[in-house]
Structure 1
Amino acid sequence: MRRNFLYFSCFLCLLSIQVLSAQERYELNTDWFCNPISDTKENGNTISQPDFKLKRWMPATVPGTVLTTLLNNEKVPDPFYGMNNNKIKDIYDTEREYYTYWFTKDFEETAAPGEQVWLKFRGINYSADVYLNGKKVNQTPFKGMYLRREFNITSLLNKSGKNRLAVLVHPADEVGNPNGGQGGDGTIAKGVALQYTAGWDWIQPVRDRNTGIWDKVFIEKTKSVNLKNPHIVTLVPGKRLPGETQEPATLQVSAELQNTQNTPVSGTLQYQLNGKTIKTPVTLSAKETKEIALPDFSLENPKLWWPSGYGAQNLYDLNLEFVVADQVSDSEHLQFGVREIQTSWNAHTRSKEIAVNGQKIFIKGGNWIISDAMLRFSEERYDAEIRFHRDMNLNLIRIWGGALPERPEFYEACDKYGLLVIQDFWMSGDCNGRWVDPMKKEDQWTRRQYPDDHNLFIESAADAIKMLRNYASLAIWCGGNEITPPADILSALKDSILPKYDNTRWFIDYSNSDEMSYNFKGGNGDGPYGIQNINTFWGERTWPFNSEVGSVGTGDAVSLKRFLPEDHQVIPQELEGTEKVEDEVWSYHKYIDYGDAMEPYGSPKDMDDFATKAQLVNYNQYRGLMEGFSSHMWDWYTGVIIWKTQNPWTALRGQMYDYYLDPNACLYGLRSGSEPVHAMYDPVEQNIMIVNNSFVQQHDLMLRLTAYDMEGNSKMITQVFNYIEPSSVRQIMSIARYIKVLGAEEGMFLSVQLLDVDQELVSDNFYWLPDASGTYSGLQSMDKAQLSAKAKKISATEIELTLTAAEEFPVAFFNRISLIDAKTGERLLPTFFSDNYVSVTPGDEKKITLSFDQLKNTDAKIEIEGWNVPKQTLDLN
């Protein structure tokens, strides 16, 4: 699995280098070396000389953290496995110097006459001293995890072209005591950086607090004028529909121009689009930096960008350049989507309503922490994770405030797959003083004013806005997680920074603000966060735009065995009166107990059985959550955001796929419940409903309801035409009497399907219902089914799998499909499935598409195993 992932990663790196080279820009991401400051006698002036010998220095991972480098050099064990994290020294105990490191990089570069060479850092945690060829580069302090920095190094380059960069990276000034509180003792929030690194209820402390050159480092070459921070605003008036001929949209384009010369420079700022050149003359004074706006451009019949499930994610390419005397001084390539985000107050639900291009969108979202807790980011991992969110039929991701301003690569994937984004700024109610908390070192009044340097926070926020504002997916800015920033920071964001740098997006003061959703129930305005009776989602009204509500998320046995040592592969037993379980590893990895949710399926016999039954619960929990909220669309709710849809380490809670990118049944239950046009069963009222999340009326939908008993016998309940208005939900009929008669003794299966006029399935929903006592007695004694399978490659990356259930046998129930390596038997990850955990009724077939990017280079097989279907492996034709 890792070899395939690394191969793809290397390929993308080479591709990106080729593209960047063509633009006079390249990344410094190989052949770095590092050494702890405690073992380094020399200073930066000496270390940065190209002839200084780096004896016994370690190969370093850049971008990366100190802990990542130590792990890659086998100096520490994998902190994500078992209890290994406890074997690594924590910075709070060792003090900061232990994780203070020198990083060096040799590179070749010279500046031709008239050229300027720039050294650009996209992120260092937490502060740094930068040297090049024996000279100090940063003459002012370089501090703050989220600030980009660039330096003109033209005069510091060696004429020979041989250069050495040396960077001394210091950890955060306040590293926090990881005492078990949310964010430890809270003092990690004194800096402008990640808060989760001191520990949270979903992760153990990150021992180095993610110290390092954690984001990309570039060399870029320009001429006399440096073009930076381009800005594109797209205005899309009126109410639009996807696929139609569109009225014009307006493009507003601007950029900062920096004159590096001691004399004035005149030139032209310009771009081309749709065969037209839009330009404006510019004169810059000596050493002047100025923002220049181009004339507004009316884009005829624009190809609009839509959220996933509503329309295409069309993107335009634009090359913005500054030309001096017929020579390009500098240029920036931009990719953007034409769309406009609107918000309004829904007086009926008493919550905000979000629209895109004039069309209201019912928000089905997921909360995102960070891609990897140790900041091992990659384009391919971002792409895979966002693709999973698209495959869940979600349309929004919220980036939680205890983490970071997400990377451009994250937003590129969201633009590609159509996921709107709420980007929190870096506050949390836990660390920043919303509540009394005995685990915190300082009182609420003191914590309320974190961070220590408000100006650094404001500067970092402005820089993040400039970096991210051009992405179509970015929809909303949020002041903080469950708390507003301090008054001066809040005022700066609302009244100056956002109006100046990005005045087109909604700004929420904090994540569960009454401005977003009127909190008529009191409390924190979000949650709950554990296993719930599915009836709750349907029958009990909660906050009308819930920013956080979630449940369990344990993976299957294959997933669990990746990080649980063999002695700890047990059934977790809850310790009464606590949130922990008897096994220390399960507790350490933050397991949330399933309560008695598995008992209706029979008490688990071992961990494998536990994990299998957990998937049944997972599927029902998340399908039920999204169906329940959707059933009250525009009446009770304008949206819901699940806490949470992913984990950046090997946690045992709230995730649709594990850290290794292996999906569990949560993903497919959520995928089913979030279908754009969806037929569903209300377990409270025992009604059948249809929800339409599209912008058009759905005509002549055939609703087909079929019941199956445990032997596989079927009974048609109804087959009837229906229609449903755009963006609405409709109750169709009650089936209470059928459930009472057919499911009383052993329970039953219920197939709820919608077919279009071509008799193609629009929605395919399969329920398993308990008997009259609430037990799945029929499932527990169910006979084996016969399931045949055929697979064929249909492209270089895709397989079509056909499953057929034999007649005269029971339903082939809840089949997990995996793509495996033919030699090792290990799952090939990430693999994407059009559906999974599927059931096939007697005599019917189901087609599933599997997608794996390295399929043509891999000897793969398919593995299938169901509740009542023995495991089988299948060769590919």
Structure 2
Amino acid sequence: MMYRRALATLLLTVTSVLTIGALGPGGASAATVGSTELTSGWALRSATGLADTGATISQVGYPTAGWSPVTLPSTVLAGLVANNVYTNIYAGTNLQSVPDLTGQDWWYRGQFTAAAASPGQAYWLRLQGLSYRAQVWLNGTQLDANAVGTFVSHEYNVTGAIVPGALNAIAIRVTPPRHACADLSVCTVDWNPEAPDMNAGIWGRTLVDTTGPVAVRDPYVKTVLPLPATNAADLTVYADAINATAAPVTTTVTATISKPGQPTITASQTVTLAAGERRELVFDPAGYPQLHVVNPVLWWPYQFGSPELYQVTTAASVSGAASDSKTVNFGVRQFTDYRTTVQGTSFVGYKVNGQPILFRGGGYVWDLLQRWDTRTNKAHVDYVKGMGLNTIRLEGTLGNQELYDLADAAGIMIMPGFVCCSAWENDSGWTAEQTTVAQASLNTQMRALRAHASTFMWNYGSDQPPTAAHLTAYKNIAAGLHWQNPTVDNVATWSNANAGMKMDGPYKWEPPVLWWDLTRQGSAFGTTGEEGTEAPPPLESLSRFLTPAQTWPVGNAAWNYHAGRGGSVFDNTDVYTTALNQRYGTTTSAADYSKKSEVMNYENTRSFFEAWSARQHTQSFGSIWWMQNNAWPALHWNLYDYYFKPGGSFYGTKKATEPVHIAYDYFSRNAYVVNSTLTGRTGLTATATVYNVPDLTQKYTTSVAVSAPANASAPILTLPAITGLTSTYFVRLQLKDSSGTTVSNNLYWYSTTADALGNKKNWYSTSVKTYANLTGLNSLAANTGVTTGVSRSVAGGQETVTITLTNTSPTNIAFFVRPEVTAGNGGNEVVPVSYTDNYVSLFPGESTQVTATYATADLGGQPAYLRVRGYNVPTVSVPVP
């Protein structure tokens, strides 16, 4: 006998459950417990022209000659690209040559060997990501005729359909999502061209689990602190137990909480589950006093402390024999929210363990073909932390479980939610199926996220809130899942005055003064869900996806194709290029454009994060730069490029968010000291010095004694109006401790002709009336007096290169100098890579040390070289010994 539960049941339990045959409750002592991910041995082909049904295709031995072999997870287009059906699709306009792949269904077929039979053995097929709908077959039996929803997990008890200890065959027929974001699927709005397959396929993990009669699902530990105190915690453990059999089963479920160096805590309960029953079990301090923990070790976000993690193992046994076990990490921490009115609008702020925290981050997006691996996921998290940020926003890019795990371990907060400008947001006209899919999607994703220490909130909507009925349903799901983190209805006050976050742009380039001028739309007050500007990557990256003719002159068809979605206001970089030419001088080549754009990107992102940090917890409470990275090689919205080559935006951000920082306000000429840690600093001295350019004549200097209270910012001095300045001039801010050690060192370049904003504005930009004259940088004398010292150590597959840069010139600055470790002489920079600092500027006689860290494997077998170049420093390349 077989049955398939209705989609409404799927909504309540997150996973659809199909039971085939019957399994008696006895003899569980020999059951195998484990989980196997099915990655290899799959094949893909279009369903068009294939008359065979799933009943036939899912038979062992079915021939797949002519199919494309694929490794899961894989979207349709990713599989075809892996088989060279379409090649080099990210270069130029090549993606346009890929036909629409959504007008047909696609078959995936795979075989696997199941674990041998044993008494009491149950088998489960778990599909963690299908897009958009699918028919699922196993060994000729249809498990599901309509597994629908990109972000819905599907699970089937296949005990009666499996062939133990032998080959089994799975066939999955996928129907792609519709274009124009018409389905509740992945949508990249105006960020880049749509994927020709709309990311159809098996994008999540495919697992075969083996358990005894009772399976354990979704363990979660809710942690509550006696705030403002943090010297105790009440832990409540939740887990679901599923009876895999057709008869009642009595099971003992034990929760074990452990951490090295801390006491181990256990709690057990025995329950009887009806046939096929799924029940949530709860272990709370009221019934288990040992779950009240004294002096817990807390999880803290980056710069606030150590992201300490505990483990909880939830194990089920039947008649004394192990039936199933699940282990997850969790953090003892508590996020809370509060509201502050700034300029007449209520904004949301967040606290972690009772401490207010300014969230600073970027909007993450996965690869256009949804390809990722551990190296890629780790690089993203490492780069966020390397920039000094503490948050990753996920606007609809949900389900990358490894990313969550890495964020937990790194102390990076996750800000998840659904996407804007699509079927997700156009919910007033949903069909009954769409309503069910949306709610099941929330159920699936919240179950995955709730156990993670890094998750600090949830956005139910982006640009607009859901309708009242859908919002109520969402909140009921969250309550049923014991979601303990704050939520917001959406992140845009323009559509919902009580949203708590604004989203008023800009999305095109603006001068640094805009972030500081609180009268301007998009300036650094309140809480922002996103804003950002164009950011063309360095020339080496441009040259990987554009030909020389496409990199210069800029603004050609291929260039614009990589700017943003065609037909949107973002399908060009005209605003950016105009500003670059006006401020830094008319660009004359691709190399000149890249050199100047790196400086402008650095200048802008540094000022953005400085402005938000300077008013933390009083007028500003959190900011997201749109975007963190790109789905494919792009010119718009990123802090680092698709290839992980860190550029001006990366290092400007890194400078702005250093733990203790001295910052310059372009609008008021104030200098601020910002302390982003929970440890105060005293005995500091701040110095501000102004120089003419290019001769470095000192025109003004002042020093003041300052302290830097923990988790706070304050203005410390104001630069006066200074006469006799050249059109372009330098402002140098330095912060030193009582021993003379530099804590923060910042060089700004500005003009007696300041950037001035106009009155014209719209949702994505504010007009610029006057551009700053920074062309004096082009008259800096060439500096050939920069010397380098370099050494290397290797351990555990990682290399650390120590670089010493010295400016031996007695008169000339070495401006905006970039050291890079390259694979071979003149090769590309080794990526991913971490530098302690970069794009450094050295005054005459000064020296600095920079450390680079990367994986030996990323040299690709080439010798390591150090390349050094700067705005006025010629390129030098030397071998790394």
TMscore range, shorter length: 0.7 to 0.9
Q: Distance in 1 between matches of 2:319 and 2:165?
A: 30
Task: Give how far 1:281 is off.
Answer: 2.4
Please show how residues 335-484 of structure 1 align to structure 2 within 5 Å: 335-347=329-341, 350-368=346-364, 370-400=365-395, 403-426=396-419, 428-429=420-421, 448-449=429-430, 453-484=434-465
Q: 3-state SS of the aligned residue for 1:333?
A: strand
In the alignment, the residues of structure 2 paired with residue 583 and residue 209 of structure 1 have an alpha-carbon distance, to the nearest angstrom, of 21
The residue that corresponds to 1:549 in the other structure is 531
Q: Read off the aligned partner of 1:725 and give its amino acid letter.
A: P
Q: Distance in 1 between matches of 2:440 and 2:562?
A: 41
Residue 779 of structure 1 corresponds to which residue in structure 2? 777
- Determine the structure 2 residue equivalent to 1:764: 745
Structure 1 residue 516 displacement after superposition: 8.9
Q: CA deviation at 1:604?
A: 0.6
Which residue of the other structure, out of 851, 854, 864, is the alignment partner of 2:853?
851
- Tell me the residue number matched to 2:5: none
Higher alpha-carbon deviation: 252-261 or 782-791: 782-791
The two structures have a TM-score, normalised by structure 2, of: 0.86
**Does residue 195 in structure 1 map to residue 187 in structure 2?**
yes
| Counterparts in 2 of 1:160 and 1:321: CA distance versus 1, 3 Å | closer
Is the CA contact (8 Å cut-off) linking 1:665 and 1:837 kept in structure 2? yes
1:470-619 matched pairs, under 5 angstroms: 470-494=451-475, 496-513=476-493, 525-541=503-519, 542=523, 544-573=526-555, 590-593=571-574, 594=576, 595-619=578-602
Most deviating of 41-50 and 381-390: 41-50
How far apart, in 1, do the equivalents of 2:444 and 2:425 lie?
26
2:760 maps to which residue? none
CA contact (8 A) 2:459 2:487 kept: yes
Work out the CA distance in 1 between the residues paired with 2:116 and 2:138.
13
Pair 1:90-2:90 in alignment: no
Provide TM-score, normalisation by structure 1. Answer: 0.87
CA deviation after TM superposition for structure 1 residue 100, in Å = 2.3
1:38 match: secondary structure: coil
The 1-side partners of 2:366 and 2:629 are apart by 8
The correspondence for 1:228, drawn from 208, 214, 217, is 217
What amino acid is the match of 1:626? F
Residue pairs, 1:105-116, within 5 angstroms = 105-116=111-122
CA gap 1:823/1:729 in 2 versus in 1, 3 angstroms: closer
Q: Confirm or deny: 8 A CA contact 1:813 1:840 kept in the other structure.
A: yes
Q: In the TM superposition, what is the alpha-carbon distance from 1:851 to its structure 2 partner?
A: 1.4
The answer to which of 806-815 and 692-701 deviates more is 692-701
Aligned-pair CA distance for 1:856: 9.0
CA 1:664–1:32 in 2, change beyond 3 Å: closer, same or farther? same
Tell me the distance in 1 between the aligned counterparts of 2:527 and 2:597: 28
1:315 corresponding residue in structure 2: 309
Q: Which amino acid aligns with 2:790?
A: A
Question: In structure 2, what is the Cα distance between the partners aligned to 1:165 and 1:700?
Answer: 68
Please state whether the residue corresponding to 1:255 is helix, strand or coil. strand
- SS in structure 1 of the partner of residue 731 of structure 2: strand
**Mapped partners of 1:519, 1:233: distance in 2:** 26
Q: How many percent identity over aligned positions?
A: 26
**1:649 maps to what in 2?**
632
Q: What SS is found at the alignment partner of 1:863?
A: strand
Alpha-carbon distance, 1:456 to partner: 1.7
CA-CA distance at 1:586 after TM superposition: 5.9
Q: Which residue of 1 aligns with 2:735?
A: 754
Sort the Cα spacing of 1:519 and 1:53 in 2 relative to 1 into closer, same or farther, 3 A.
Answer: closer
Shift of residue 201 of structure 1?
A: 2.5
Instruction: Select which of 810, 818, 821 maps to 2:820.
Output: 818
Distance 1:447 1:204 in 2: 26
Instruction: Give the drift of 1:708.
Output: 4.5
Separation in 1, partners of 2:389, 2:302:
7
**Secondary structure, in 3 states, of the residue corresponding to 1:458?**
helix
Asked if the contact 2:465/2:496 (under 8 Å) is kept, the reply is no
Report how far residue 822 of structure 1 moved. Answer: 1.6
CA displacement, residues 569-613 of structure 1 (integer Å, 9 cap, x when unaligned): 213259xxxxx9996666769443312233232211111111110
2: CA distance, partners of 1:155 / 1:472: 38
Which residue of structure 1 aligns with residue 199 of structure 2?
210
Conserved 8 A contact 1:704-1:718: yes
| Higher strand fraction (1 or 2) | 2
SS at the partner of 1:630? helix
Is 1:295 the counterpart of 2:279 in the alignment?
Answer: no
Q: 1:209 to 1:299 in 2, by over 3 A?
A: same
Distance 1:619 1:528 in 2: 17
Secondary structure of the 2:789 match is: strand
Tell me if structure 1 keeps the 8 A contact 2:418–2:424. Answer: no
State the shift of 1:109 in Å.
Answer: 3.4
Q: Which residue of 2 aligns with 1:260?
A: 244
Aligned partner of residue 872 in structure 2, secondary structure: coil
| C-alpha separation in 2, matches of 1:736 and 1:610 | 34
Contact 2:546 2:559 (C-alpha < 8 Å) held by counterparts: no
Report the aligned-residue RMSD: 2.7
Rounded Cα–Cα distance in structure 2 between residues aligned with 1:659 and 1:825? 18
1:610 partner amino acid: Y
- Among candidates 34, 37, 49, match of residue 44 of structure 2: 34
Q: What residue number does 1:664 align with?
A: 647
The SS at the match of 1:629 is: helix
Cα shift at 1:465: 1.0
Unpaired segments ≥5 residues, structure 2:
1-30, 286-290, 755-771
Give the direction of change, closer, same or farther, for the CA distance of 1:670–1:791 in structure 2 (3 Å limit).
same
Between 66-75 and 51-60, report the one with greater CA deviation.
51-60
Report the equivalent of 1:9.
Answer: none
Which residue in the other structure is 2:73 paired with? 63
Alignment of 1:152 onto 2:147: no
- Give the 3-state SS of the residue equivalent to 1:561 in structure 2: helix
Contact 2:32 2:118 in 1 (8 A): no
Per-residue CA distance 1:362-393 (angstroms, 9 max, x = gap)? 2223222x221211022221211122112222
Letter in 1 for 2:36: Y
Q: How far is 1:117 from its partner?
A: 1.6
Deviation, 1:824, is 7.2
Measured in 2, the distance between the counterparts of 1:471 and 1:845 equals 43
Aligned residue identity for 1:195? C
Cα 1:413–1:159 change in 2 (3 A) is: closer
SS of 1:621's equivalent in the other structure is: helix
Aligned equivalents of 1:583, 1:305: Cα separation in 2: 44
**Which string of whole-angstrom CA distances, capped at 9 and with x for unpartnered residues, describes residues 268-311 of structure 1?**
22233323322222222333211111133122322211111111
In structure 2, the residue matched to 1:695 is 678
Task: Tell me if the contact between 1:351 and 1:517 (Cα under 8 Å) persists in the aligned partners.
Answer: no
SS at match of 1:640: strand
Q: Provide the aligned length of Structure 1 versus Structure 2.
A: 805
Q: Which residue of 2 aligns with 1:243?
A: none
Instruction: Please state if 1:717 is matched with 2:701.
Output: yes
Contact 2:813–2:842, Cα closer than 8 Å, also in 1: yes
Q: Does the CA contact (< 8 Å) of 2:391 and 2:415 recur in 1?
A: yes
Q: Distance in 2 between matches of 1:520 and 1:304?
A: 28
Separation in structure 1 between the aligned mates of residue 349 and residue 91 of structure 2, nearest angstrom: 42
Q: CA shift at 1:684, angstroms? A: 2.2
Amino acid across the alignment from 1:203: N
Name which of structure 1's ranges 272-281 and 64-73 shifts more when overlaid on structure 2.
Answer: 272-281
Does the 8 Å CA contact 1:100/1:170 hold for their aligned counterparts?
yes
Task: Please say which of residues 784-793 and 554-563 is displaced more in the overlay.
Answer: 784-793
Shift of 1:81: 1.3
The whole-number CA distance in structure 1 between the counterparts of 2:398 and 2:481 is 16
Higher mean alpha-carbon deviation, 563-572 vs 66-75, is at 563-572
> Could you list the runs of 5+ residues in structure 1 that have no partner in the other structure?
1-20, 177-183, 241-245, 435-445, 575-579
Give secondary structure in 2 for the equivalent of 1:25: strand
> 1:124: Cα distance to partner?
0.6
Tell me how far apart the structure 2 counterparts of residues 508 and 448 of structure 1 sit (CA, whole Å): 22
CA distance in structure 2 between the partners assigned to 1:22 and 1:155 by the alignment: 16
Name the CA distance, whole Å, in 2 between partners of 1:256 and 1:45: 32
Which residue number corresponds to residue 792 of structure 2? 793
